[in-house]
Chains A and B, each alone.
Chain A
Amino acid sequence: MTRRRVVDLTGARMDQGAALIVRHALADMGPGDEVRVVGDDASLVPTLRALARALGAPFTVEADGACVLGASTHPDGRRTGGMLVPTAPADHAHPRWGLAARGTLVEAGGPEFAFPLAEKRAVWTDELARLYAQAAAAQWDPATAIPWAEPRCDDDAVEAAVVQVMAYLVENETAALLVPARFCAQVHPHFREVLQLLAIQTADEARHIEVFTRRAGLEAPRGPGPAPMPPLSTVGGQTSLKSLVDEPDFALASFLLSVLGEGSFLSLLRFLDRYAPDAVTRAVARLAAQDEARHVAFGLAHLERQTALDPSLRPQLAAAVHARHDALAHTAGLNAEVFDALVLIAGHQPNRPAWDPVGIATGWNAVQELIAEMDAGRQVRLRRLGFSGAEAAALSALHTRNFM
């Protein structure tokens, strides 16, 4: 049975969206049903005539000026033949799902997006939601979280050592920003949690770059007197980082960066939190370490799942460590300036000169402990990925001497 519905638009204005009310009335109509629209706006008839034409709906004007619109005779093409994006992450994300949210219907005939990382196994870990929530809750404001007004170390040599370490950290953090940023644009957005996590990780690194730069004071205006010697960015350091930035494979890059590199950095930042001579350096190191722990946890969780699903990935990871080691074999590794700076920082005692032999010995031992701790940490994480104790020890030993 056909229905005739009446929509009274008396007092409603067509130039304030009254046509929406008619469209809504038309939406649930069956074949033969009609909507009769009455109203007192002079633009009622031309507006509804144009609307009916655009919808493919029959249209007549009755003697009293009322408009009668019929149901569209066309199938709702935008809802037929489309693809329903699953609400849970699928094993393979279809190129045509594009940017659509999970749980939506994608109209047929749309563009295909070329996201290279479209397989769940290549990107997923069940830890994602938890890690993202943690990261979102743990965002800190560099302006207020750091006691910027606290004094620097009054020993010029130790202060110069801190500046050198900060400059080194900035270039490492820049690599740590570029790698997730690049893969963020390659992951199919169907895996939105991966996108979100990589994006927030990138934002973490942006803050790290900011606070280390600010602590180093490299861009601060100079006072009178001779400029201090600028800290050094070495061939060895940049070559090591370039091999990370250039790694095209997501699994290999996240293995080298997060599991091995950021894992080692975690130890370094905790070392600075413990030994740095001033409150600002200790705070920036502590806050960055909190973030890095999440970055390591994501890399580890995602690779743990992936190596469990595909054991052939393990030899590829090992091969990547070997290849990077060989590529960097001719470089100097950690630059002497950074190593010396760490010794100086760890050995410094208030009221004792920087180059005091007792202090140097203390610092030296602390750096040796740091290197041993980094090695032990890498071995633990490698074993979590299923490497044997012997394999883990061998691979950890091949990790870049530049730490990251």
Chain B
Amino acid sequence: MRPFILGAVAYDPKVVTIWDGFKLYFEANGLSFDYVLFHNYERQVEAHFAGVIDVAWNSPLAWVQAQRIATRLGRRAQAVAMRDTDQDLTSVVLVRTEGPATIADLTGRRIGVGAMDSPQATLLPLLQLAERGLDVHPDHPNVVRHDVLVGKHGDHIGGEREAVRALLHGDVDAACIIDGNLAAFTQEGTVRAGALRVLATTPAYDHCNFTVLDGTATRPLTRFLALLHGMSWGEADTRRLMDLEGLKAWRPGRTTGYSALDRACTRFGTADAFVAQQVARG
């Protein structure tokens, strides 16, 4: 019988360490498990619909893509689990301390964002600015993208760091990053104290989730989820894996935190071509 197969995107070499560790943990606890790494989320979503994998560790954009393809094909996508740290994130729009005072002041200014497919550093903050009246979208001439590792949906921190550096150098007038990186960039010294100011903050949104499609075998999925929820940050063996993956506890999946990204995709047409192509393939 084929093992329960997970798909994940290799955005960093540590992904191998992470899923090798999870594989050992799952198999030591009686779940026959394997994983496949993809170069980018589009190939992962495609493979998921082709039945190559049973569960996909999806970025929020990959979730929106999968959810839209499923709807169009009359199938059903479900978010079954996520990290505690995937819930209630925000992104911030940073300016230099002496820079624009309001969102309207950004008119005609250059806005540094992350990769074109980054929900946190591009799509969600641009949606926030657009919904508050600024004429802006990912392909707007005033938007300066930092397309580090396109296809990884912004999982790589590099695009956000480049956006902040461009802001500090004066190459752009605003930079969009996830809230956690604000503290991280300050602590690592990329951002000097007093240099930058938060101009706007997005509403809270959710990040990655484990996605399954209709027809996934119930028993291994139930076991997979039970083993995830059985991990404890208080135990050294599982804490090592949780620290690598950046969480303290697994949570049941929820999809309420993706509505803003869904609006952004509609407004900017971000997922359209890919979804149409996948639907055409059936």
A residues in contact (CB < 8 Å) with B:
13-16, 19, 42-43, 45-47, 49-51, 53-56, 59, 72-77, 80-81, 107-109
Contact = CB atoms under 8 A, between A and B. Distances in A.
Contact of A15 (B85, B178, B179, B194): B194
Given A15-B186, A42-B197, A77 B90 contact: no
Contact of B182 (A47, A54, A55): A47
B171 interface: no
B106 to A, nearest CB: 15
Interface string B81-93: 0001101111010
B237 interface: yes
A56 B88 contact: no
Given A15-B193, A46-B90, A109 B236 contact: yes
A74 B248 contact: yes
A66 to B, nearest CB: 15
Contacts of B197: 42-43
A107 B179 contact: no
Interface string B106-147: 000000000000000000000000000000000000000000
B239 interface: yes
Contact of A50 (B183, B194, B196, B239): B183
Most buried by A among B89, B192, B239: B239
A72 B178 CA distance: 22
Given A50-B183, A59-B88, A107-B236, 4 more contacts: A15-B196, A16-B193, A47-B183, A74-B233
Interface of B: 84-85, 87-90, 92, 178-180, 182-183, 186, 191-199, 201, 204, 232-237, 239-240, 248-249
Contact of B233 (A15, A51, A53, A75): A75
A43 B233 contact: no
A56 B84 contact: yes
B180 to A, nearest CB: 4
A53 B89 CA distance: 8
A72 B234 CA distance: 12
Contacts of A72: 248
B252 to A, nearest CB: 15
A77 B196 contact: no
Contacts of B249: 56, 73-74
Contacts of A81: 234-236
B180 A53 contact: yes
A43 B183 CA distance: 9
Most buried by A among B88, B192, B198, B201: B198
A15 B191 contact: yes
Contacts of A55: 248
Given A45-B201, A53-B84, A109 B237 contact: yes
Contact of A49 (B84, B88, B232): B88
A97 to B, nearest CB: 15
B186 A75 contact: no
Given A42-B197, A42-B198, A50 B237 contact: no
A56 B248 contact: yes
Contacts of B240: 109
Nearest to A81: B236
A19 B183 contact: yes
Contacts of A75: 232-234
Contact of B179 (A13, A49, A73, A76): A49
B201 A46 contact: yes
A46 B236 contact: no
Given A53-B88, A56-B248, A77 B193 contact: no
Contacts of B233: 56, 74-75, 77
Contacts of B85: 53-54
B186 A46 contact: no
B183 A51 contact: yes
Contacts of A56: 84, 233, 248-249
B182 A77 contact: no
Contacts of A46: 90, 92, 179, 182, 198, 201
A56 B84 CA distance: 7
A50 to B, nearest CB: 4
A351 B179 CA distance: 87
The 8 closest A-B pairs by CB, nearest first: A109-B236, A108-B236, A56-B248, A46-B179, A50-B180, A75-B234, A42-B198, A43-B198
A13 B193 contact: yes
A49 B235 contact: no
Contacts of B88: 49, 53, 59
B182 A43 contact: yes
A208 B243 CA distance: 49
B248 to A, nearest CB: 4
Contacts of A13: 193-194
B257 to A, nearest CB: 13
Contacts of A42: 197-199
15 contacts: A16-B194, A42-B197, A46-B92, A46-B182, A47-B183, A49-B90, A49-B179, A53-B87, A53-B89, A54-B85, A56-B84, A74-B233, A74-B249, A75-B233, A77-B236
